[in-house]
Structure 1
Amino acid sequence: EGKELAEHAAAAAQRAQQDSTAALGQRLQDVHFWKAELQKEIEDLDAETGLLAAQKQRLGRALDATEVPYAIATDNLQCRERRQPPDLVSDEVERELLKEVELIRNIQELLKRTLIQAGNQMRLNCDQKEVCEMDRSDKVETYNIDVNCGRYSNQSTNVQFHPGSVKFEESASTPETWAKFSHDNIYRAEREKLASINLRALIDNILHDVSEDLRMQCAAVNKAFAKRCEELYDTKHKLEHHLEKILKEVGDQEANIAALKQAIKDKEAPLKVAQTRLYDRSFRPNVELCRDEAQFRLISEAEELTESTVSLKKKLLESEQCLRNLEDTRMNLEKEIAVKTNSIFIDRQKCMAHRTRHPVVLKLAGYQ
């Protein structure tokens, strides 16, 4: 009976050990599964964080690139303040430049906010990756412990009694809570990874849109400048053509005045002759002081010459006033032409030349 009991106890102990070893084997499979899942999640998060970091760099480059068009637009506005009246007006070019400045400011604010968002998401990715790494580290340690436990046998020399270990720890997890812990970690990691992927797509869209908006606004400003310069050239050409006509009229009027002065001068000698004759004849004695035909003719001649001279002098005054008016017109035209020349120089030589430094779309999109 004692022998039978001993054999039964030995068989029961062997079966119990086999069951425990099998349970440890199953447990190793479970631990390995979650360890592999966590490793995959860690690698995915690490790769995703790297991709997000690249997008964050693009945002930074795009933000830096906006400084050039902003400087160009503000410089254009400042340069155009040096235009002279009547060209110092709020025209289409100024309105488009102000729109460009406002657009760039809004874009810079958007890029700064997105940079902060990307930085926050990268931190969340790293935090969740660290959680998964700690979980995996615990799984690796547990796996190694259970591997060693599975190798123990009755022939092992490194086994001994540990009566205090035959109990459940109060803080021990259940299989359900144990699996849920890793499942939740992976779920949160997947959630952050998805948020990171969506943010990268958003950054792509933002950079595409802002670079396109800047390109289109730059084109609108350039078009307004080209149109304004064309208007200035056309107006300047018309003013110069008008000035040519005025200069010809000035020349003609100066010649006319010279002719009138000469005509007045030419009347002096005949008038002197007529008046001298009349003066001398006024000394005729007594009855000889006769109103004869010669006297009538001399008086008529003197009056005609005087009247003609008065008429010529009046015409001379009118011509001189006309010349002064023409000179005033000439001066005004020359001032207007100078104003237009200055405006053309500012818009074409200063502003449009400066705008050739506007960054290309690839740079504005953060690729360069």
Structure 2
Amino acid sequence: MSSDVLVSMPHYDSRAVAQRGPEKDPLVELEVPQPSSGSATAGFRSAKYSPAEWFTNYRSILQQAGTDRQEAHSIQRLSKSLYQDTEAATLKTQAKGTRLLGERLQEIHCWKSELQRHIEQLLADTQALLALKTRLEKALDATETPYAIATDNLTCRARRLGPDLVRDPVEEELLKEVDLIRSIQTLLKRTTAQVVTQIKMNREAKQTLEMDWSDKYQAYNFDDHSGRYSNLSPDTQHHPSSATMQDQVCNNTAWTKFTQDNLSKALQEEQATTSLRALVEQLLQDTTEDLRVQCSCVDRAFSLRCDELIEAKTQLEMKHTQTLEQIGAQERNIVALQQAIHNKEAPLRVAQSRLYLRSLRPSMELCRDEPQLSLEGEVQQIDATLASLHQQLSEARGSLSHLEESRVTIEKDINCKTNSLFIDRDKCMTHRKRYPNISTLSGY
């Protein structure tokens, strides 16, 4: 057995050396065992290393230190390149995100402006339709006056007397006017319902645009605030879950299509409103013109009828005057005939008395002499004259009766014409002066 003392070699941790980096290699202090003395160390070798072990250990330490130093330098180079590259990439990505946020802000602003323009247009269209609705309601109310006038005219003219109760052109024009007013009222009611429906659709489209505009307003504020963030902003925080893509989030194409669809719907309603406004304006103009034209036709028919009534009344009055004159003349003629008949009574009595006395002649004196023949002829003549006078008197009295009947008939017809003229001229035509003007019929 060797006399050398066996001892363990010191342990070196290479990882600890690598962690310390490129610092100067510290002096390695070997644990040199203290020489033992006495009987305790008897039979063991000495604790000292051999020169070969020392050199080996020394070279191993130097080689390990060099290797660790080179590895550290490599890691440092790689780290520097890595953080420089990542810093540049991060700044580039951040700049790109900021640029994209700016572009997104511009895009949102454009869509917001377009939405705002259509919202204002829908609001203006709705206000215009509300004004048209008011005009339609006023125009509908204004048609009640012509309808009341026309029906009142028909009712008044139904009180005409006798043969004047005729279906003349005035009545036909009044019936046309009543039918026209009824059809116009129906048309105005239907058009008002269409305007109300369009107003409702405009408001729904406007509400949809306002909701979209409100969403874009909030998104614009969020993106604007996001774009103002920088690496020096004190209010930034970590939100790890915010980078997770959500399934229900739409893509940019769907986002654009959603707004385009809303704007397309709004544009359709704007075009429908424009068409409806033009239709209502034309409708009000046409109905007003139709009513005024029919009113003129009725007034013209009334004027012609009044002229006819005045002319007929004038002729009847002239004929009435002539009839009265004829009645007076006939009455005087009858008086004259009666006087003539009365005047024939005395000569007839004289002639008849003479014939009677001569019929009392005696014997042969009772002969048909010249006086007898003359008296007989005189009596026959007077009888014939009286018969003729009585016949003429009868005819005169018949004529007088006919004249009286004509007078009564004429007077009744004059009364009819007077009543008809009063109804047409003084009542109907006066009442028609209340007919609404063009602006009232147009709903203003």
Q: If the length of structure 1 is used for normalisation, what is the TM-score? A: 0.93
Task: Name whichever of 259-268 and 290-299 sits farther off.
Answer: 290-299
1:257 pairs with 2:318: no
Give unpaired runs (5+ residues) of structure 2: 1-74
Partners of 1:38 and 1:311 lie apart in 2 by 113
Report the alpha carbon displacement of residue 287 of structure 1 after superposing the two structures with TM: 5.8
Partners of 1:299 and 1:270 lie apart in 2 by 12
Number of aligned pairs?
Answer: 367
Partners of 1:290 and 1:113 lie apart in 2 by 114
1:360 pairs with 2:437: yes
Report the alpha carbon displacement of residue 305 of structure 1 after superposing the two structures with TM: 2.4
Residue 409 of structure 2 is matched in structure 1 by 332
SS class of match (1:118): helix
The one-letter amino acid paired with 1:312 is: L
Partners of 2:152 and 2:415 lie apart in 1 by 23
SS class of match (1:268): helix
Q: 1:262-304: per-residue Cα shift (whole Å, max 9, x none)?
A: 1111112222233334334444556665555544444333333
Partners of 1:260 and 1:174 lie apart in 2 by 125
1:156 pairs with 2:233: yes
Residue 175 of structure 2 is matched in structure 1 by 98
Residue 63 of structure 2 is matched in structure 1 by none
1:221 pairs with 2:298: yes
Residue 161 of structure 2 is matched in structure 1 by 84
Residue 210 of structure 1 is matched in structure 2 by 287
Task: Name whichever of 294-303 and 118-127 sits farther off.
Answer: 294-303
The one-letter amino acid paired with 1:232 is: L
Indicate which of 57, 61, 65 corresponds to 2:138. Answer: 61
Residue 132 of structure 1 is matched in structure 2 by 209
Task: Name whichever of 4-13 and 223-232 sits farther off.
Answer: 4-13
1:71 pairs with 2:148: yes
Partners of 1:38 and 1:61 lie apart in 2 by 34
1:188 pairs with 2:265: yes
Partners of 1:287 and 1:26 lie apart in 2 by 167
Q: 1:125-149: per-residue Cα shift (whole Å, max 9, x none)?
A: 1100000000010011111111222
The one-letter amino acid paired with 1:115 is: T
Alignment of 1:1-368 (within 5 A): 1-2=75-76, 3-4=79-80, 5-284=82-361, 289=366, 291-367=368-444
Partners of 2:341 and 2:132 lie apart in 1 by 91
Higher relative contact order (CA 8 A, sep 6+): 1
Task: Name whichever of 334-343 and 250-259 sits farther off.
Answer: 334-343
Identity fraction in percent:
50
Give unpaired runs (5+ residues) of structure 1: none
Alignment RMSD: 1.9
Higher helix share: 1
Partners of 1:266 and 1:254 lie apart in 2 by 18
The one-letter amino acid paired with 1:315 is: Q
SS class of match (2:164): coil
Q: If the length of structure 2 is used for normalisation, what is the TM-score? A: 0.78
Partners of 1:295 and 1:13 lie apart in 2 by 173
Residue 39 of structure 2 is matched in structure 1 by none
